[in-house]
């Protein structure tokens, strides 16, 4: 569930970046940050986390969305808050880049980096 959310977020960001034809003062930095975000998302998805099967799983019951979300939360998967913070910071960086404001762009990129633990 979290992997799907992170993949969707990554796809939205990639589309937003490729749709821009204007190269602002920090376009290269935005591309590097996006590559870093994508790499972290892929590493988290590949690494994953696992836990022992629950008694319900051993009884051949299908998981519910709620049980999956609870298990992901318990395992420490990236939260929706973190994904939203990264997406918002990247959106601000792209907006500042389009406006030609290098300082605000760099501030937003720094915030995105902090949100992903960079």
Quickly count: other Cβ atoms within 10 Å of residue 47's Cβ: 7
pLDDT at 73 over 80: no
Average pLDDT over all residues of the chain: 79
Tokens 């959106």 belong to residue? 91
Q: For position 110, what pLDDT does the model report?
A: 95
Q: Would you kindly state where each structural domain of the chain is located, as residue ranges?
A: 1-10+81-118
Dump pLDDT digits (tens) for 26-42: 999 999 999 998 888 77
Q: For position 101, what pLDDT does the model report?
A: 94
Average pLDDT over residues 91-99: 95
Tokens 């796809």 belong to residue? 11
Q: Using CB atoms within 10 A of its CB, is residue 78 exposed (0-12), middle (13-18) or buried (19+)?
A: buried
Long-range contacts of 23-29 (CB under 8 A, 24+ apart): 24/96, 24/97, 24/98, 24/99, 24/100, 24/102, 24/105, 25/97, 25/100, 25/101, 25/102, 25/105, 26/93, 26/96, 26/97, 26/102, 26/105, 26/106, 26/109, 27/97, 29/105, 29/106, 29/109
Average pLDDT over residues 54-75: 75
Q: For position 13, what pLDDT does the model report?
A: 67
Average pLDDT over residues 40-57: 74
Using pLDDT thresholds of 50, 70 and 90, give the confidence band for residue 63: confident
């Amino acid at each position: 569930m979290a992997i799907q959310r992170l993949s969707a977020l990554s796809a939205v960001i990639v589309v937003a970046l490729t749709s821009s034809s204007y190269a602002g003062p920090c376009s290269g930095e935005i591309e590097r940050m996006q590559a870093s975000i994508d790499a972290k998302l892929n590493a988290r998805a590949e690494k994953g986390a696992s836990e022992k099967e629950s008694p319900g799983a051993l009884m051949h019951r299908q998981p519910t969305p709620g049980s999956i979300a609870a298990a992901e939360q318990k395992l420490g998967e990236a939260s929706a808050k973190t994904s939203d913070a990264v997406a918002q910071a990247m959106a601000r960086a792209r907006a500042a880049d389009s406006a030609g404001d290098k300082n605000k762009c760099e501030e937003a990129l720094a915030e995105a980096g902090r949100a992903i633990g960079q």
